[in-house]
């Protein structure tokens, strides 16, 4: 059976086989993005299907405070009764929903509909807010539409030069590197990552100074005559204002702020400008800041000045992280959006979607809180008193994680749909066991805007239901007509096609039969493709739009917009008490909060615990030794981990992976300051201190529980969080 890997947004093609005795094997297919390759995570993905602590019965918290097994009718009745009671007493916004970027398109769509129709709440957002929101905001402002890569991944194979800013693809998306073998790479990263080691040029700025660096690169392009003036004149607006901002950022000033040599800045821009085919790509390192939208916009400015977006063989893109990070943000689980990227504040959009849903437009609530704001409001006066979580584990993945756990425990009702007892599930009043990736039908949308079929190899274990079935059952109990919330993925997709018809992310021309026939379908894929000049939409064919912007951008005048941005420092500067900069990220063996990968013996064996990377001089000043224990602390809290001495690290910077739980959670020290436009938290830079920790003798009883919450649930503690639906969590 052919399907796609459950992890990142590259969505590598795979073939699953079942030996009939419960053992599943995986092999790569010659799908364009992976061309017969898989990373270590993809090769071991089937191991998660048979994890020993799989939940197969609903759990209810009893009067004794412990979770105990129940049955589905009782569990769903309990949830519906409590939700109805809270809504009647405190209003519809007293209940909230938190979704995930690993949910299928169908589940993300129905979850948004459930929140706004069955619950009537405005309080819905998802963990993709922690992943792509800054890039989405910048892309929408510049282009009028946001698609991670507005061109197929395979186009990169012909590139002469690629600038990768804040993207360590050699560890996060290893099969992607085969498409970059021809290009001269410019890596922008505070660390000398595996990707940076492969690059022709490595720019190593201090965490939190990315915006200054990108302004400096634009300064070089303008000052040294490298701007594509014809492209700028013909296809863009706003260049003079952006250039004036960059004029103050001479390379020498940028060097003083970032630490990147002025000569290296000039070399990077000249390398891009001299290439016949060049790309600028950004990742989470650029975006996960309280100024992430401005920083992404500044890199967009550079790409526009060089004439790259919408030029055949060149372009700008952002490397989407979660498996359905693209589709998940298009289908309406984001606080301010309706399906198809329609705005919740647009009367025409509300009317269209309300017609599809069979409800009055005025019954749809307005925009609610963004993800961290929502989590931080739980249980507070005026905030939600109940939360339903699908495909996420915010007890581990949210910034300032200790505060988020406090908020979760303050709720009157916490309901978690998951496949194992995750850290968030351990706090829940009701836990609903749901299907995994190889047990469900649906669609995903990869980072290049291509819609993909997820196929079921086998049914879920007895007692486990799909998320669509859970939403169907709850909606009926809340008084909704059964047909309004279908439990069949194909039926949901047919409705989704209608809901997105005519929208920026138009899926109306996509169907299961076309996908099953192997067609390559990229949104926008309208049922009736427009002509090249039919309104602001890009020209589309019956196969959709593999390459956006070749003729026009999505603004009404068809022109891209430069952004007028300027540098500002991190929300939290260093101090005498917290003199170092901490940044977080991923390692090759693990994915997101580690919920799936820490359950795979091969991956857990490769990286069993977090390792904090520190320059030897920095370690010496703090009294640290290689492989010794260190406490990384900020004003909010801290994590404990092993030390790895790395002479390539900046002396002012430490790095910690975010895949681990309990006292090893990097998000215990991360900062919750939010980007004012995107709602993105500042995951990538925190002021910290390092303190040596005595190394205790090994525990003869075995590995410690790292769940991070008290084990009073009656559920076995196993030290892992879950990514419902395949890779739903995001930590940074």
Q: In the prediction, which pLDDT does 458 show?
A: 93
Report the distance separating Cα 448 and Cα 151, nearest Å. 6
Helix axes 210-223, 239-247, angle to 10 degrees: 110
CA dist 561 and 394 (Å) reads 35
Contact 441, 4 (CB under 8 A): no
pLDDT in tens, 446-456: 999 999 999 99
Q: pLDDT tens across 590-644, in order?
A: 988 887 888 899 999 999 999 999 999 999 999 999 999 999 999 999 999 999 9
Q: Name the DSSP class of 8.
A: S
Q: How many Å apart are CA 43 and CA 25, to the nearest integer?
A: 9
**664 touches 676 (CB < 8 A):** no
Work out the mean pLDDT of the chain and round it to a whole number: 92
pLDDT of residue 700: 37
The domains located in the chain, with CATH, are 2-50 (2.20.25.90), 59-131+324-493 (3.40.50.740), 133-319 (3.40.228.10), 580-693 (2.40.40.20)
Counting residues of the chain whose pLDDT is more than 90, the rounded percentage is 88
Q: Supply 165's token pair.
A: 């800013």
Provide the pLDDT confidence category of residue 399 given band limits of 50, 70 and 90: very high
Q: According to the model, what pLDDT value does residue 19 have? A: 79
Sheet containing strand 24-28, edge to edge, reads 2-4, 13-18, 24-28
Residue-wise pLDDT tens digits, 13-66: 999 999 777 789 999 999 999 999 999 999 999 999 999 999 999 999 999 999
Give the chain's radius of gyration (CA, Å).
24
**pLDDT tens profile 257-298:** 999 999 999 999 999 999 999 999 999 999 999 999 999 999
Q: Structure tokens of 18?
A: 């079942």
Instruction: Taking residues 326-353, report their average pLDDT.
Output: 96
Q: What per-residue confidence (pLDDT) applies to 202?
A: 98
669-to-60, 595, 631 alpha-carbon distances in Å: 32, 20, 11
pLDDT above 50: residue 234: yes
Residue 660 three-state SS: coil
Position 712 scores a pLDDT of 44
Write the pLDDT tens digit of every residue in 82-101: 999 999 999 999 999 999 99
517-560 pLDDT, tens per residue? Answer: 999 999 999 997 655 444 444 455 678 999 999 999 999 999 99
Return the pLDDT at 696. 81
- 3-state DSSP percent of the chain in helix, strand and coil, to 5: 35, 20, 50
**Three-class secondary structure assignment of 284-310:** HHHHCCCCHHHHHHHHHHHHHHCCCCC
Give the global pTM.
0.94
Placement of tokens 């109805």 in the chain: 84
pLDDT given for residue 540 in this prediction: 57
Identify the pLDDT of residue 530.
Answer: 56
DSSP, res 697: P
Residues 6 or more apart whose CB falls under 8 angstroms from that of 697 comprise: none
Q: Which pLDDT does position 718 carry in this prediction?
A: 31
Average pLDDT on 116-126 reads 98
Residue 98 in 3-state DSSP?
A: strand
Task: State the Cα–Cα distance between residues 7 and 45, nearest whole angstrom.
Answer: 8
Q: What does 117-136 look like in DSSP terms, one character per residue?
A: III--S-EEEGGGGTTHHHH
CB of 686 within 8 A of CB of 401? no
**What's the rounded Cα separation, in Å, for the pair 665 and 632?**
10
List pLDDT tens digits, range 179-231.
999 999 999 999 999 999 999 999 999 999 999 999 999 999 999 999 999 99
Q: For the chain, how many residues are written?
A: 732
Question: For residue 395, how many other CB atoms are within 10 A of its CB?
Answer: 31
Please name the residue that has the structure tokens 């086989």: 17
Q: 225 or 707: whose pLDDT is higher?
A: 225
What does the pLDDT read at residue 529? 62
């Amino acid at each position: 059976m052919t399907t796609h890997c459950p992890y990142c947004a590259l969505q590598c093609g795979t073939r699953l086989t079942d030996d009939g005795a419960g053992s599943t094997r995986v092999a790569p297919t010659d799908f364009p993005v992976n061309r017969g390759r898989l990373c270590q995570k993809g090769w071991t993905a089937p191991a998660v299907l048979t994890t020993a602590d799989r939940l197969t019965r609903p759990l209810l918290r009893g009067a004794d405070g412990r979770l105990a097994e129940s049955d589905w009718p009782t569990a769903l009745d309990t949830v519906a009764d409590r939700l109805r009671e809270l809504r009647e007493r405190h209003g519809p916004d007293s209940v909230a929903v938190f979704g995930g970027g690993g949910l299928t398109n169908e589940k993300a769509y129905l979850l948004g509909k459930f929140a706004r129709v069955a619950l009537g709440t405005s309080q819905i957002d998802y963990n993709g807010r922690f992943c792509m929101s800054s890039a989405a905001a910048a892309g929408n402002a510049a282009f009028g539409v946001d698609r991670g890569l507005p061109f197929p991944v395979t186009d990169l194979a012909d590139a002469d030069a690629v600038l990768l800013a804040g993207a360590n693809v050699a560890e996060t998306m290893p099969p992607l590197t085969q498409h970059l073998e021809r290009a001269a790479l410019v890596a922008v990263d505070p660390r000398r990552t595996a990707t940076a080691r492969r690059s022709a040029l490595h720019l190593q700025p201090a965490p939190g100074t990315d915006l200054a660096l990108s302004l400096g690169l634009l300064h070089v392009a303008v000052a040294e005559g490298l701007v594509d003036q014809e492209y700028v004149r013909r296809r863009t607006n706003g260049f003079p204002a952006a250039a004036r901002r960059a004029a103050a950022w001479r390379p020498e000033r940028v060097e003083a702020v970032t630490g990147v040599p002025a000569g290296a800045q000039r070399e990077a821009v000249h390398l891009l400008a001299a290439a016949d085919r060049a790309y600028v790509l950004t990742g989470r390192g650029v975006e996960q800041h309280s100024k992430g939208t401005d920083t992404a916009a500044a890199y967009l400015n550079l790409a526009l000045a060089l004439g790259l977006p919408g030029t055949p063989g060149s372009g700008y893109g952002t490397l989407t992280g979660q498996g359905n990070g693209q589709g998940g943000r298009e289908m309406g689980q984001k606080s301010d959006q309706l399906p198809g990227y329609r705005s919740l504040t647009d009367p025409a959009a509300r009317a269209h979607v309300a017609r599809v849903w069979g409800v009055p437009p005025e019954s749809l609530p307005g925009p609610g809180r963004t993800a961290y704001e929502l989590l931080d409001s739980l249980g507070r006066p005026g905030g939600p008193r109940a939360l339903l979580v699908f495909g996420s584990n915010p007890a581990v993945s949210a910034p300032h994680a200790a505060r988020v756990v406090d908020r979760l425990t303050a709720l009157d009702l916490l309901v978690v749909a998951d496949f194992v007892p995750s850290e968030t599930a351990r706090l829940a009043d009701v836990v609903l066991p749901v299907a995994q990736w190889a047990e469900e039908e649906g669609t995903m949308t990869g980072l290049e805007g291509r819609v993909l079929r997820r196929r079921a190899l086998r049914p879920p274990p007895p007692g486990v239901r799909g998320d669509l079935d859970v939403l169907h059952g709850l909606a009926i109990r809340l008084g909704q007509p059964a047909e309004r919330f279908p439990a069949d993925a194909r039926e949901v997709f047919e409705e989704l096609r209608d809901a997105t018809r005519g929208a920026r992310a138009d899926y109306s021309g996509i169907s299961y039969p076309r996908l099953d026939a192997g067609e390559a379908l990229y949104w926008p894929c309208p049922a009736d493709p427009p002509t090249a000049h039919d309104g602001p939409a890009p020209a589309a064919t019956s196969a959709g739009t593999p390459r956006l912007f070749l003729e026009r951008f999505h603004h009404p005048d068809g022109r891209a917009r430069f952004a007028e941005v300027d540098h500002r420092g991190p929300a939290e500067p260093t101090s005498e008490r917290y003199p170092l900069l901490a940044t977080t990220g991923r390692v090759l063996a693990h994915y997101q909060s580690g919920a799936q990968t820490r359950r795979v013996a091969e991956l857990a064996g490769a990286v069993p615990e977090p390792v904090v990377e520190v320059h030897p001089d920095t370690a010496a000043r703090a009294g640290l030794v290689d492989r010794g224990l260190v406490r990384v602390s900020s004003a909010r809290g801290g994590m404990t981990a092993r030390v790895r001495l790395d002479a390539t690290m900046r002396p002012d910077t430490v790095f910690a992976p975010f895949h681990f739980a309990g006292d090893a959670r990097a998000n215990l020290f991360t900062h919750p300051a939010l980007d004012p436009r995107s709602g993105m938290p500042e995951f990538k830079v925190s002021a910290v201190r390092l303190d040596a920790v005595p190394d205790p003798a090994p525990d003869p009883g075995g590995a410690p529980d790292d769940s991070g919450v008290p084990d009073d649930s009656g559920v076995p503690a196993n030290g892992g969080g879950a990514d419902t639906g395949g890779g739903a969590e995001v930590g940074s």
